[in-house]
Amino acid sequence: MEYPEFLMDHFQSPRNVGEIADADGTGIVKNATCGDIMQMSIKVKEDVIVDAKFKTFGCGAAIATSSIITEKVKGKGIKEALRISDETAKDILSQLSRDKFPCFTLAADALRLAIEEYYCNKQKIHDKGGIREEDLEKILP
């Protein structure tokens, strides 16, 4: 399968690789099917993502998507970042065969978990998973 040029660029020269030492939120996801593992961390100031980094053990598809999403969410409000992440994943998926879908959803899932951790810390909710996705959508700016 031939990948679009923009995906190959992000795979060959990924942006924002690493982790943020004093992250406001970190999300870690695993794909049991292929064994990929991804960690995404965010730094937030006044509900705007000012930095995003990722570490991925996985295929080129997972690496490229992580790079793209971290680039797109920097400087965005939390709610907008969630929307961008979901839209980016859908846009990429529309250009690929179905067997590659799980690889491209990891970054969106990791970002969502990082944002959930940020929100939980901000609201002093200490049990992860303590909020439902629909609640998260309602309360974020």
> Higher confidence at residue 119 or residue 92?
119
Of the candidates 42, 89, 103, 106, the residue annotated as catalytic is 103
* Per-residue pLDDT reduced to its tens digit, 68-98: 889 989 999 988 888 877 777 777 767 666 6
The arithmetic mean of pLDDT across residues 107-114, rounded, is 90
Residue 34 bears catalytic tag: yes
Which entry of 34, 37, 93, 140 is annotated as an active-site residue?
A: 34
How many domains is the chain built from?
A: 1
pLDDT confidence bin for 122, thresholds 50/70/90: confident
Catalytic residue flag (residue 120): no
Read off the pLDDT band of 17 (50, 70, 90). Answer: very high
Domain coverage including residue 96: 5-139
Question: Once rounded to an integer, what is the mean pLDDT over residues 1-28?
Answer: 88
Instruction: Convert the pLDDT of each residue in 36-59 to its tens digit.
Output: 899 999 999 999 999 999 999 988
Residue 125 has pLDDT above 90, yes or no: no
Q: What is the mean pLDDT of the chain?
A: 82
Identify the CATH number of the domain in which residue 93 sits: 3.90.1010.10
pTM of the full structure? 0.81
What b/e sequence results for 43-67 when a residue is b if at least 16 CB atoms lie within 10 Å of its CB, and e otherwise? Answer: bbeeebbebbbbbbebbbbbbbbbb
Per-residue pLDDT at 139 exceeds 60: no
